[in-house]
Amino acid sequence: MITIPKGTKDVLPKDSYKWHRVYDIIAVLRDQYHLKEIMTPTFEHTELFERGVGDGSDIVRKEMYTFLDKGNRSLTLKPEGTAGVARSFIENNLDNDILPIKMYYVTPCFRYERPQAGRLREHHQFGVEIYGSDSVLADVEAISIAYQFYVRMGIQPTVELNTLGCEHCRANYIDALKKYYAQHLDAMCPDCQDRFKKNPLRILDCKVPSCKEITKNAPVVRDYVCEDCKTKFDTILKLLDTMHIPYKINDRLVRGIDYYTNLVFEFIDEDKKLGQNALGAGGRYNNLIAELGGKSVPVVGFGIGIERILLYLENKGIALPEDITVDYFVVSVIDDMQYTLQTVQKLRNQGYNVDFDLLSRSLKAQFKYANKIGSKYVIVIGQDEYESGVLTVKNMENHEEKKMTLEEIVRK
């Protein structure tokens, strides 16, 4: 038997309604928030992620699915959604289009991780990217879109946020961090010793207990940011109050990707019983487009892992509404297949959800099947019905039977 590759997952027919719920909510948000979908390829040139995500990040250093194609080009299955959108924005000169623009995507992402609960080698992300505004209004708009997504899924998260400062004040903070960690370097994990050289900010994120202990007393970024960055951050907090979005400042939040500047945020469940992990995350990346060779365009965005959200709902016992069921199941025991098909077709053309027997089974077997799939009504076409044109309609819930012509059923 050929089995599924490690770290991947099938979505079986009995579970796919959960995904439909996710897509339905995204479609509503698309209309209500005026989002435009962008679709980019599943693989890109490896260099895009090295430059866009950052070659010091864990993703690029350890987790990418990189391969040479038959033309000897190094390609990578996208590990996240942002870099591809940025590449497309630059390549297609979208900065000449109407700005700001709010784009969204739903995309598979690939990371070579040790498979464990909630971490897959292929997962799917819903992401939003707002291009062309450096205003805190765009920051709050991004956070509200994500927040509304959760609320409509039945989740009440808290947003944790932090500022990393702008390109000017951030340097002061990194200096302070370096000074602090230099005294503790020997006691830190090998990864952090490496981070110390490449990007000391990332040490704040380390989950190794000894590093966490040292980080407890590390300098706090808000003591180092400039007046402008501080005002911006405070305004965001005020606007979140206005929007009734629960938040918490988290001084240690930096996010594991190189491109963030100023605002970073994560959505978490306050009762941490269920998970250590964020339900989604994002931030502002004003330098990304310029770093990838485009003009300087401010961007704020977020990504939400869909599998993680569904797992969270399952653990929490939150059920999602199932797909719409069948209105009419046509039970037919006559030989005239044309008559049966025409009946089914007329009902479908009137907008009903209709199914019928594909195996020419007995009346009893067809009823059993209709019951199993949860059809609301059954229409019976036996020899009498066929000859008279008056069909038997059975309500599967209260078992009431009525005699009606097809025209009467359709007019109902």
The burial class, CB within 10 Å (0-12 / 13-18 / 19+), for 392 is middle
Question: Residue count at the site for Zn ion (CB under 5 A)?
Answer: 10
Q: How far is the CB of 211 from Zn ion (least distance, A)?
A: 3
Q: Are 286 and 229 in contact (CB under 8 A)?
A: no
Q: Which residue's CB is nearer to Zn ion, number 276 or number 398?
A: 276
What are the φ/ψ torsions at residue 293 (nearest 5 degrees)? 100, 5
Q: Which residue's CB is nearer to Zn ion, number 211 or number 391?
A: 211
Kindly tell me which residue out of 103, 166, 245, 263 binds Zn ion, with binding defined by CB under 5 A: 166
Stretch that binds Zn ion, among 27-35, 98-106, 222-230, 234-242 (CB under 5 A): 222-230
Kindly tell me which residue out of 83, 103, 164, 192 binds Zn ion, with binding defined by CB under 5 A: 192
Q: How far is the CB of 237 from Zn ion (least distance, A)?
A: 16
Q: Under the criterion CB under 5 A, does residue 151 sit at the interface with Zn ion? A: no
- Whole-angstrom Cα distance, residue 192 to residue 203? 6
Of 318-347, which residues contact Zn ion (CB under 5 A)? Answer: none
Q: Which residue's CB is nearer to Zn ion, number 226 or number 390?
A: 226
Stretch that binds Zn ion, among 137-145, 166-174, 179-187, 337-345 (CB under 5 A): 166-174
**Amino acid symbol at 194:** D
The burial class, CB within 10 Å (0-12 / 13-18 / 19+), for 321 is exposed
Kindly tell me which residue out of 48, 145, 146, 169 binds Zn ion, with binding defined by CB under 5 A: 169
- What six digits make up the tokens of 108? 């598979």
- Whole-angstrom Cα distance, residue 68 to residue 74? 5
Q: Which residue's CB is nearer to Zn ion, number 123 or number 195?
A: 195
Q: How far is the CB of 86 from Zn ion (least distance, A)?
A: 23
The 194-213 contact track toward Zn ion, x by CB under 5 A, reads: ------------x-x--x--
Q: How far is the CB of 138 from Zn ion (least distance, A)?
A: 17
Q: Are 142 and 126 in contact (CB under 8 A)?
A: no
Beta bridge mates, 162: 264
The closest of 157, 98, 127, 100 to 283, measured between CA atoms, is 127
Q: Under the criterion CB under 5 A, does residue 189 sit at the interface with Zn ion? A: yes
Instruction: Give the H or E element holding residue 310.
Output: helix 306-316
Q: Which residue's CB is nearer to Zn ion, number 224 or number 386?
A: 224
- Whole-angstrom Cα distance, residue 145 to residue 245? 11
Q: Which residue's CB is nearer to Zn ion, number 208 or number 393?
A: 208
Q: Under the criterion CB under 5 A, does residue 229 sit at the interface with Zn ion? A: yes
Q: Which residue's CB is nearer to Zn ion, number 298 or number 303?
A: 298
Q: What angle do CA 246, 250, 256 make, to 5 degrees?
A: 115
The closest of 142, 138, 114 to 126, measured between CA atoms, is 142
Q: How far is the CB of 190 from Zn ion (least distance, A)?
A: 8
Q: Are 141 and 35 in contact (CB under 8 A)?
A: no
Residues of this chain that interact with Zn ion (CB under 5 A) are 165-166, 169, 189, 192, 206, 208, 211, 226, 229
